[in-house]
Structure 1
Amino acid sequence: MKKVIPFALNLALLITLIFLAYFTQRTNSTQLIALFMCAFAAYIAILKFYNDDQFFRLNFWSSIILRLVVLFALPSLTQEFYRFVWDGQLLRLGFDPFAHRPESYVLAGIQIEGIDASLYEKLSSKELYSIYPPFCQSIFGIACKIFPTDLYKAVLVMKSFVFLFELGIVWMISLLLKHFNLPKNRVFIYALNPLCIIELCGNLHLEAGMIFFTLLVIYLLIINRTLLASVFMGMAFCIKFLPAIFIPLLLKPFGFRKTFDIAFLGIVVGVIFSLPFVYKIEQVGHILESVQFYYNQFEFNASFYHLIKHLGFTITGTHSMLNAQKIAFGIFLATLFYLTAFTSKGKEKLLVRMMWTLFIFLLLSPAVFPWYTISLLALCLFTNYRFPLIWTLIAPLSYLAYQTTPALVPNWVTLLEYGLVIGYAVFEIISKRNLIDQPALSSSEAITELADSDC
């Protein structure tokens, strides 16, 4: 019986993820939310009752099989993969994906093999220049080079890269847990998480590469491989520039010289890798134009950012995204300065401070998609806090936005989502307990003791 129940729970997780990956569209919100709830019920039961050494092998192979199963599904919760194929086809034929908007090719009547009207109609950003960084572009190009006329197989190649990144993440988490003498079974908090599996391997989000390279950089720094860490920091920058927010946190545990090397050499490596893709001033301008659009025009599932914007309207009588962004950025910089200058210099606390930094960043962001919470989940494994896990459980509710056009997250979802996440974080801080896998938090990790430099 002891083996039957955990096997049944893993089987239930497998079945629900199959239905999510193959038979659920993001507009079918009732089915989507119900399946996620079932998947998380099985997941939490495994973590709570069947996550000791006795079940390590079962959970390990389950985490691999679950990813392999969803790997073969065409992404159903996002349409961005069509843009991946568009950019990949341009690269395959020697065109510059940063030179023109998709609509420019159509308006000019330019015919390109592998790019047709049906693909164009499925793009969600026809009027924008490509925003995807060089490392991502290289994956798109490789996939379309291998399968120039088969969209499904090209997407499968792209997803294979994500699968490899996911294996790398599990490997890095295991190495870091071992280094810090933390329970090895914590890896399954990430490895069996339904949102991680569905969003990364299932829906082709290349954040998996960013998470892998970031954890690899931290591990290499801890074992004094600074030069190699700098190289992989550059690779992380070439997927997403988000890891740059963690660089100031390296000052106290590693000193100015190592921090400078990581930042400077990381940028140099990123630039060198980018040169085959971005080599003209106009390209940089096009990329910045798209980035500016996303940050100045696009809002999704935001929390404190909306509150700041509302307060600004109350005071000035105008809705200004720019002013709200400036205030949010100022608050984030102040938080980052505090976590950099007034907290512990211990290397074992670095990942704790990275978790809080990213948490504040997401709270102040104008757009928070469900898969953005996955990075936070990976970082929380090296602390005793589990509120990021709660966030991954609730984040799928934001898909209710796709019941309307344009997509708009209902206010009650935002209140419920952030109320529960922040409420559970406060509970963990005050009680020094989490209800998932540890009976108590060590007092040295309590956020209320940050002022005493224990974080």
Structure 2
Amino acid sequence: MQFWKFYKIPLLLTFVGLFLYWLFSYNLIRTEYTKLITFYTALWIIFILLLKYAKDNIKFLTIIAFLFRAVFILAIPNLSQDFYRFIWDGRMILEGFNPYLYTPVSFIDTQNFPVAQARELYAGMGQLNGSHFTNYPPLNQLCFVIAGLFSGHSILGSAMVLRLLIVAADFGTLYFGKRLLKQLNIPVKNIFWYILNPFIIIELTGNLHFEGVMIFFLVWSLYLLHSGKWKWAAVIFALSISVKLIPLLFLPLLFRYFKSTSLNDQNKNNEILKRVQNDDSSSKIDFKKLISFYGIIGLTTCLLFAPFFSSEFINNYTQTVALWFQNFEFNASIYYVAREIGYLFTGYNEIALIGKIVSVVIVVFVLVLSFYKRQISTKTLLTTMLFAFSFYLFLSTTVHPWYLATLLILSVFTNYKFPLVWSFVIIFSYLAYINLNKADKSENLWIIAFEYGIVYAVLIWDVLISKRLKHQ
């Protein structure tokens, strides 16, 4: 009775949340826009109220996060088709094929079915996905293989295995995220802005996107780096890259993190404390440690790619990655403005040219950030990573909802709230499917403008207005 008295509201919220997640996972298709927005908004209200009424009970929130994910265990993803390609790739490897050298359509067109349920998998992934070479790095492919090993003839069974891997990664992120927050003297409860967020639960656990596994290795690596265990941090960072390539963007930002220090092995765990307290901007880069760090990352990444390596693989993989900058476009912001300017002057879509320019601008921006501060702490590094990835997303030609997961986890270690707000309004990007069955399949730019208008407004508040008010 005492427990019910103190936890009556959180428990009621939990039961309502479980019901709403069940509706979302088993009673919704992505073209049911009213239900989609209604369920998502209701889940966000539950999320906010849970953090309000149970914010200090870490154990209780952890159990709830697990229960909400458990609802999806028997569900087929209803907002994304990518998992069909995941299953295809895993089964291809088990059949002895290099998935980087073949497209699904090359088999289907010749009535050759190399894996179990080939027709169903190809129909599920769609012609667009099936006509391109895979772009998923080797450790991601290992996850697909594990799904094939445990369930080689059932799509639902494979989805369940993939889901368990992603859920395990989320709780790894919870473990190392809490430890890093504690060492940085940031409230540990902040991690639940990520772990309990409906966006994360739906996009990662529900829709089977492996950003969650990449984030687990990234947070683990940052924790090890902060603790002075930079060699192991480099290995784990390479594992993160080998799930998704996004962490490559952060490598230049680590340049000024490696300062010369006289610390011995016993004092390595105090390195970050000394770095924060020491304002001596004359300290030099420890190039030996820096080169070793980058070398370990490079070597580990190459070893993971080695089983698939060939000249044909390099050509296929680089071409496929380039598609995200020079061919595909979805839910973009600044790029859409540049595209309209291109139409105005040339009369056609200049995505190939704009994509190349965007790539160069992003690299230059990250390099400028890398040399902006002469002295850097872990908190500063995390903030810099946040803005580097934000800039990348703002300029990208394609911003799928699950891309925001990386931005959201970085924001947990900062005071910036625009990624959290974006993780709510990103649901409006799914309204692009309104025109899916119409002759005009273009996105509604008013909806895109609404989404980014809110995001940019909160960004301006975070960066300019909020800081000015605090200063005053």
Per the normalisation by structure 1, the TM-score is: 0.90
Name the counterpart of 1:437. Answer: none
Is the aligned partner of 1:284 residue 2:314?
yes
Residue 160 of structure 1, aligned match among 160, 164, 173: 164
Residue 12 of structure 2, aligned match among 1, 8, 31: 8
Structure 2 distance, partners of 1:29, 1:73, is 19
Range that drifts further, 5-14 or 370-379: 5-14
Structure 1 distance, partners of 2:458, 2:130, is 40
Name the counterpart of 1:413. Answer: 447
Is the aligned partner of 1:190 residue 2:194?
yes
Residue 460 of structure 2, aligned match among 426, 434, 437: 426
Deviation at 1:58, TM superposition (A): 2.0
Cα distance 1:427–1:359, how it changes in 2: closer, same or farther (>3 A)? same
Contact 1:40-1:194 at 8 Å conserved across structures: yes
Structure 2 distance, partners of 1:257, 1:67, is 44
Name the counterpart of 1:103. Answer: 105
SS of equivalent residue, structure 1 residue 3: helix
SS of equivalent residue, structure 1 residue 384: coil
Is the aligned partner of 1:302 residue 2:332?
yes
Is the aligned partner of 1:73 residue 2:75?
yes
Structure 1 distance, partners of 2:361, 2:309, is 35
Residue 238 of structure 2, aligned match among 229, 234, 238: 234
Runs of 4+ in structure 1 off by over 4 angstroms are 315-318, 440-443
Name the counterpart of 1:264. Answer: 295
Q: 1:196-227, CA deviations, whole angstroms, 9 ceiling, x for partnerless residues?
A: 00111111101111111111111111111121
**Gap regions ≥5 residues in structure 2:** 259-284
Contact 1:248-1:259 at 8 Å conserved across structures: no
Name the counterpart of 1:127. Answer: 131
Contact 2:327-2:352 at 8 Å conserved across structures: no
Q: 1:120-153, CA deviations, whole angstroms, 9 ceiling, x for partnerless residues?
A: 2222212112222111111111211222112211
Letter in 1 for 2:421: I
Structure 1 distance, partners of 2:441, 2:170, is 29
Cα distance 1:377–1:145, how it changes in 2: closer, same or farther (>3 A)? same
Residue 182 of structure 2, aligned match among 178, 182, 185: 178
Structure 1 distance, partners of 2:294, 2:64, is 38
Q: CA RMSD in A?
A: 2.1
Between the aligned residues of both structures, percent identity stands at 29
Structure 2 distance, partners of 1:93, 1:30, is 43
SS of equivalent residue, structure 1 residue 240: coil
Letter in 2 for 1:428: D
Contact 2:140-2:244 at 8 Å conserved across structures: no
Name the counterpart of 2:94. Answer: 92
Deviation at 1:407, TM superposition (A): 5.3
Range that drifts further, 257-266 or 96-105: 257-266
SS of equivalent residue, structure 1 residue 131: coil
Deviation at 1:360, TM superposition (A): 0.8
Letter in 1 for 2:158: A
Cα distance 1:303–1:170, how it changes in 2: closer, same or farther (>3 A)? same
Cα distance 1:189–1:113, how it changes in 2: closer, same or farther (>3 A)? closer
Range that drifts further, 424-433 or 129-138: 424-433
Deviation at 1:367, TM superposition (A): 0.6
Name the counterpart of 1:83. Answer: 85
Q: 1:270-316, CA deviations, whole angstroms, 9 ceiling, x for partnerless residues?
A: 1111222x122112222223223333211000001111222333345
Is the aligned partner of 1:321 residue 2:351?
yes
Residue 207 of structure 1, aligned match among 202, 211, 222: 211
Deviation at 1:183, TM superposition (A): 0.8
Cα distance 1:141–1:441, how it changes in 2: closer, same or farther (>3 A)? farther
Per the normalisation by structure 2, the TM-score is: 0.87
Contact 1:308-1:327 at 8 Å conserved across structures: no
Q: 1:367-387, CA deviations, whole angstroms, 9 ceiling, x for partnerless residues?
A: 111111111111111111111
Is the aligned partner of 1:23 residue 2:27?
yes
Deviation at 1:12, TM superposition (A): 2.3
Residue 52 of structure 1, aligned match among 46, 50, 55: 55
Structure 1 distance, partners of 2:204, 2:458, is 25
Name the counterpart of 2:266. Answer: none
Name the counterpart of 2:220. Answer: 216
Deviation at 1:442, TM superposition (A): 6.7
Contact 1:384-1:441 at 8 Å conserved across structures: no
Letter in 1 for 2:396: S
Deviation at 1:339, TM superposition (A): 1.9
SS of equivalent residue, structure 1 residue 81: helix
Letter in 1 for 2:220: L
Structure 2 distance, partners of 1:111, 1:421, is 45
Deviation at 1:259, TM superposition (A): 3.7
Residue 37 of structure 2, aligned match among 28, 33, 36: 33
Contact 1:18-1:69 at 8 Å conserved across structures: yes
Structure 2 distance, partners of 1:72, 1:299, is 32
SS of equivalent residue, structure 2 residue 130: coil
Deviation at 1:323, TM superposition (A): 2.1
Q: 1:385-424, CA deviations, whole angstroms, 9 ceiling, x for partnerless residues?
A: 1111100000011111112237543111111111101101
Letter in 1 for 2:359: F
Cα distance 1:183–1:36, how it changes in 2: closer, same or farther (>3 A)? same
Name the counterpart of 1:350. Answer: 381
Letter in 2 for 1:394: V
**Gap regions ≥5 residues in structure 1:** 434-439, 447-455
Name the counterpart of 2:151. Answer: 147
Structure 1 distance, partners of 2:344, 2:414, is 39
Structure 1 distance, partners of 2:223, 2:450, is 36
The total of aligned residue pairs comes to: 435
Cα distance 1:241–1:118, how it changes in 2: closer, same or farther (>3 A)? closer
Q: 1:421-442, CA deviations, whole angstroms, 9 ceiling, x for partnerless residues?
A: 1101111223427xxxxxx997
Contact 2:193-2:412 at 8 Å conserved across structures: yes
